[in-house]
């Protein structure tokens, strides 16, 4: 069935562009969009015509503004676990498919947006891109793999700082930290990202696939499923907590969250 929240484009032979297109929610990932991504990425993983996959957001404002907060607001623990597990299926497809995946981050990449980007092999960004893991401001933790993958890009202390503070990073800062390989002015961004994809698509597909497999294997992805499952369980257990209810209600009601237990003076 044709996806409702994705656009699939073929730029050059061998290059497939998957665009998240849910403009009303700044491309936020609801269950339907994650299901569509799972189907499309599974098909592309097996498609011999696709040599390089580029993941991007439709429009100029957002890559993905995170998991859908309105949908998550009333989730139970088991629904939270299932939601994280679906996110993990998508991120594993990006990380493990036997062909390069490039995140072309064109705007907000928050929460699940940064998490899908760091599941790709590398990230290129427009100078309008904004990254971050703001989950703690919602009373939850990252649930689509950042507790495992962010430190591979930026190192453990920086991953801790970013996840504990929820601070947003502009493209240049993200590049300085090693999160992003290249930052391009927005006017040239799509062409530059495609240029990189073309360069890779011209190489031996089987050699590139083998290199990806080994680079993943050697960069300590042992225990991937066990670690992601631990994250999904911890993510789910926060659902129904006072801070999760307050954090997400505050976002939906467009006000600041007032978390428990913090004496303000």
Q: Which residue lies nearer to ligand COA by CB, 96 or 136?
A: 136
Q: Which residue lies nearer to ligand COA by CB, 14 or 112?
A: 112
* Encoded tokens for 217: 């294997």
- We find the least distance from the C-beta atom of residue 130 to ligand COA, in angstroms, to be 8
Find the catalytic residue in 36, 44, 95, 135: 135
With contact defined as beta carbons under 8 Å apart, do 7 and 14 qualify?
no
- We find the least distance from the C-beta atom of residue 135 to ligand COA, in angstroms, to be 5
- We find the least distance from the C-beta atom of residue 115 to ligand COA, in angstroms, to be 9
Q: Which residue lies nearer to ligand COA by CB, 30 or 101?
A: 30
Sheet holding 169-170, edge to edge: 62-64, 108-110, 130-132, 169-170
- Residues 137-156, interacting with ligand COA (CB under 6 A): 138
* C-alpha–C-alpha distance, residues 241 and 83, integer Å: 17
- We find the least distance from the C-beta atom of residue 161 to ligand COA, in angstroms, to be 17
* Encoded tokens for 265: 């003076």
Selected from 15, 17, 20, 26, the binder of ligand COA by CB under 6 A is 26
Instruction: Tell me how far CA of residue 32 lies from CA of 36, 37, 80, 119, in angstroms.
Output: 6, 9, 15, 20
| Residue 236 in the binding site for ligand COA (CB under 6 A) | no
The 3-class secondary structure across 193-249, one letter per residue, is HHHHHHHHHCCCHHHHHHHHHHHHHHCCCCCHHHHHHHHHHHHHHCCCCHHHHHHHH
Selected from 36, 44, 58, 68, the binder of ligand COA by CB under 6 A is 68
Selected from 6, 18, 25, 34, the binder of ligand COA by CB under 6 A is 25
Active site residue 135: yes
CA atoms within 13 A on the CB side of 173: 11
| Residue 34 in the binding site for ligand COA (CB under 6 A) | no
Active site residue 4: no
- The size of the interface with ligand COA (CB under 6 A), counted in residues, is 16
* Cα 7 versus chain centre, distance: 17
Q: Which residues bind ligand COA (CB under 6 A)?
A: 25-26, 28, 65-70, 108, 110-112, 134-135, 138
Residues acting as catalytic residues = 115, 135
């Amino acid at each position: 069935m044709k996806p409702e929240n994705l656009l699939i484009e073929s730029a050059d032979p061998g290059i497939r562009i998957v665009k998240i297109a849910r403009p009303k929610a700044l491309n936020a990932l609801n269950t339907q969009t994650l299901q569509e991504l799972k189907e499309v990425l599974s098909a592309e993983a097996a498609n011999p015509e696709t040599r390089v996959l580029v993941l991007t957001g439709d429009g100029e404002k957002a890559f993905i503004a995170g998991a859908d907060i309105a949908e998550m607001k009333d989730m139970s623990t088991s629904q939270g676990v299932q939601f994280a597990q679906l996110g993990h299926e998508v991120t594993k497809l990006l990380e493990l498919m036997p062909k390069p995946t490039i995140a072309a981050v064109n705007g907000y990449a928050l929460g699940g947006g940064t998490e899908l980007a760091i599941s790709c092999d590398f990230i290129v960004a427009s100078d309008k891109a904004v990254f971050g893991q703001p989950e703690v401001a919602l009373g939850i933790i990252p649930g689509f793999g950042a507790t495992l993958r962010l430190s591979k890009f930026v190192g453990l202390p920086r991953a801790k700082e970013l996840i504990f503070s929820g601070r947003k990073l502009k493209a240049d800062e993200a590049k300085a930290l090693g999160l992003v390989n290249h930052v391009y002015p927005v006017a040239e961004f799509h062409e530059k990202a495609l240029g990189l994809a073309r360069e890779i698509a011209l190489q031996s597909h089987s050699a590139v696939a083998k290199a990806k497999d080994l680079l993943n294997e050697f960069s300590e992805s042992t225990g991937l499923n066990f670690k992601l499952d631990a994250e999904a369980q911890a993510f789910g257990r926060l659902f129904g907590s006072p801070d999760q209810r307050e954090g997400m209600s505050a976002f939906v009601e467009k006000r600041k969250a007032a978390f428990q237990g913090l004496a303000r003076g």
